[in-house]
Structure 1
């Protein structure tokens, strides 16, 4: 009988395309994932990964076994969900995926309450961007995800998932104190034409918002992933940035946040697989996430 943990590791590599990303999804180290797959190769007497020049790809045999692993994981997940529904109480493992500012803004407190309230529930958190969070939920590697999408850059929801709104998060324009627009009470997109933006890179939701809001004419001069690093640039007198309010750290001295009109906002939602929506742990998590949303 093949080991389920090793099959999960192979399925994660097949899904995410690398050992490093599979490790993040599973909550392991990359070394642990490599060891699991090496044991599976010895167990099956088959090469499952083609390792060349630091890259890995599944061999034909690896693809066959990864597909079988996905089917086995789906069957077991369905059985676990049905057992939990019969018990009527949140039990087992709940893996929650959430984007960074959600983790800081309300998810950390929510998951602490979940773990403290339900003794039989083991909670695990994966901090990850919304697009990759959806992939984790679709593949069964996360049970629930907290995601966001902007009014002009919606998130594409797979048909196998269902979601519920948690709240709306407004964003402001952050500028160095010495900027000519820093003393304005509010700004419009027309005021910001020609500015040099600090933003996350292509694929990020904020990046998409900028391109949509300025018809792809926004100059992204500073590609910076972390909001803390963006604030450091602003404090140094460099660029302008779009900063959501959720999970926002205190602004450094000399940095101002000015409202934009119309106000940009992102909808924050929880998403889960349709077939697992009646699990008591999913329903309990959704309620507690809503309770902890900053009002």
Structure 2
């Protein structure tokens, strides 16, 4: 009989394209992946991986079995969801991912609600950027993620995912308090054509959004610094080193020396939860979405 863990390993190699990437996704060593594949080859009596340059590729038999593995793992997920639904209780472990300001602005209240209402549910949260969250949900590394769209640029989502809106998060322009526009009631992005910006790191969804949005306004972005955390960006702004887009979710108190001014044509992030559609009936998923939705309403009402 084929071993489910070994099928999961083969599926990871097929999905990620290498033994090393599969090991990273499964949180094991490359040696452990190689051992699992070797055992699976002995079980099936067929070669599943072949050397290809410095890496490996799936043989015809490997691709055939990997396709079956994907369907089998999906069915296992569905069976687990239906068993949990049959029991009617949110129990077991629920693995969550969220971008940093959502983790700070939504999850303390949501996780406290889940702990009170579902004491047998073990929730584990990991901060990760939206692109990584989507990949992690698709791979099955996490069960649910909180991600975002910008008002003018949606986050690409693959098929097979369900989603639920949580809140709309306005974003302001944060600038040094002595900036010429710091005391305006509202601004346009075009007002800052000659300013230097502090951005998220290159390759992140929000960095790409900022480049796209400024260029759509006829502004060629002048990026002075890049910082992952909004609090770091605000510290740079307080030191007079540039300005940034500052969403309100999870922002907290603005440091001295920084002014935040609304944009006349409001910029918003649409924040929502995503999970695999075949896990839709799990009470733990529904409980988490409900708790996050309540936390989102509290944020919007504050």
Q: Same fold (TM over 0.5)?
A: yes
1:62 Cα deviation after fit? 6.1
Superposed displacement of residue 100, structure 1: 1.3
User: 1:169 Cα deviation (Å)?
Assistant: 0.6
Distance in 1 between residues matched to 2:263 and 2:12, nearest whole Å: 41
Task: Kindly provide the CA deviation profile for residues 56-79 of structure 1, in whole angstroms up to 9, marking residues without a partner as x.
Answer: 655547655544432332121011
Q: What is the number of residues matched between the two proteins?
A: 289
Correspondence list, 1:1-295, <5 A: 1=1, 3-16=3-16, 26=26, 28=27, 32-44=28-40, 48=49, 58-60=57-59, 66-200=66-200, 201-215=202-216, 217-293=220-296, 294=299, 295=301
Alignment RMSD (CA, Å): 2.9
Give the Cα separation in 1 of the matches to 2:164 and 2:150: 15
Bigger radius of gyration among the two: 2
In structure 2, list runs of 5 or more residues that go unmatched.
Answer: 42-46
Contact 1:153 1:208 in 2 (8 A): yes
TM-score by length of 1: 0.83
Distance 1:71 1:210, change over 3 A: same
Change (3 A) 1:41 1:17: closer
State TM-score, norm by structure 2: 0.82
2:44 corresponding residue in structure 1: none
| Partner secondary structure for residue 171 of structure 2 | strand
Q: Where do 5+ consecutive residues of structure 1 fail to align?
A: none
Contact 1:98 1:129 in 2 (8 A): yes
Q: 1-side partners of 2:33 and 2:5: how far apart? A: 10
For residues 259-289 of structure 1, give each alpha carbon's deviation from its aligned partner in whole angstroms, at most 9, with x where no partner exists: 1111211111112233332221121111111
**Bigger shift: residues 105-114 or 169-178:** 105-114
